[in-house]
Structure 1
Amino acid sequence: MKVGYISAKKIDEKYVGAVLIVDELGIPQEFKYTEPVSPTPLQKILYGKSLELYLTVEIIAKSLLKSVEQKPEIFLTDNISLVEASDQVYYVSPYGTSKLEQSQNLEPNECVIPLQNESLKLVSKSNLTQDKIEKLKKIMEEFDVMEPFQRLSKALEFVCRS
C-alpha cells in the first residue's frame, strides 16, 4: 500500500510545498514540489490573516494533489490546515500516553491510534469511519509514519534555498 505525505511551509518569507509518495517500506515512489511563492506587499494587505491559509491550501496543496500520478488512498500531513485540501488528507501528530485517558473527548473527525511505543492522533476534514481508522492503524503498524516528514521538511528547505 502506498502512502502520500503532503506538506507546505513558510521558509524565509516564501511558501513552498511538496508531496512524497512512499511504498509500505517507506521507499519513495514519487516526489513533486512547488516553486517557492513570495506574496507581494499588496497580497499581504488584501489577504491579511487568511494569506497563509490561502497559499498553503488553495494554491500549494490542491495543485500538488492534482499533480500526483500515483494516487494513494491516504495522504498524511504535518500541517493541520492542509486537511481542508481534500478528504484524503489526514493530519497526524504524536499523542502522549498521559493524554490517552482524554481520548474519549475527541471530535468525530479525530481519532487516537495507540502503537507499541507511542500513540498518534489523526484529524481529518470529515468524520472518520471505522474502516478508515483500521486502514490507518494498519499503515502505522507497518512502518514509522512520522519519519518521512523529516525527509520532506529537509527537501522543502533545499528547494527553498536552491
Structure 2
Amino acid sequence: MKPDWDKLMKEFEGSSSVLVADVDCTAGGQGKCQEVGVRGYPTIKYGDPNDLQDYNGGRSFAELQKFAQSLGPTCGPANLDLCDNKKKKLIDEYMALDSTKRESMIKEKEAEIEKLEADFKTFVEGLQKKYQESSDKKDKDVEAVKNSGLGLLKAVNAFQKKAKGEL
C-alpha cells in the first residue's frame, strides 16, 4: 500500500482543499497517533484534523484516489452551510460555552474513550488467558490419549494388515 499512498500524496501535493499525508506512529508522530485513535497500521483517517474519521474503503491506488477526489470541506464551525440543522444546533451550543467548559467536556469524553479502551483490553486479556488455558488443556489431553497406547495400537494394526497382505 505504501507505494500507492506515496503516489496519492504526490498527486494531491499543493491542493488547497485536500491534504494527503502520512505520520510515523512509531517515532515523532506517536502523540498525534494516540490522540486520533490509531491502533493498528496502516490506518487511514480523513476529515477535519480535529475530528478525524476512520476510512474503511479499498486500499488500491484507484480506490484511494477516487475517495480523495470526493473529499472537500465538511460540516464544522468554519463551514456551517454544510451542516444539517441538528449539527448547527450542536455547534451553536458548543460556541455558547466558555473555553474552560468546552475543554472540561473534551477531557470527560476522552476519559470515556480511555475507559472503553481499558475495558476492552481487560476483556481481550481475559480471552487470551482462557484461550491459553484451553489450549494447554487440549495439548495435555491429546498427549494423554497418545500415551494411552495409540501409537502401539496403530503399529499392531499396520503389522497385522501387512501380515495378512492388506497393505
TM-score normalised by structure 2 residue count: 0.21
**Which one has a larger percent strand, Structure 1 or Structure 2?**
1
Which protein, 1 or 2, shows the higher relative CO under an 8 Å CA cutoff with sep ≥ 6? 1
Larger Rg over CA atoms: 2
**Which one has a larger percent helix, Structure 1 or Structure 2?**
2
TM-score normalised by structure 1 residue count: 0.21
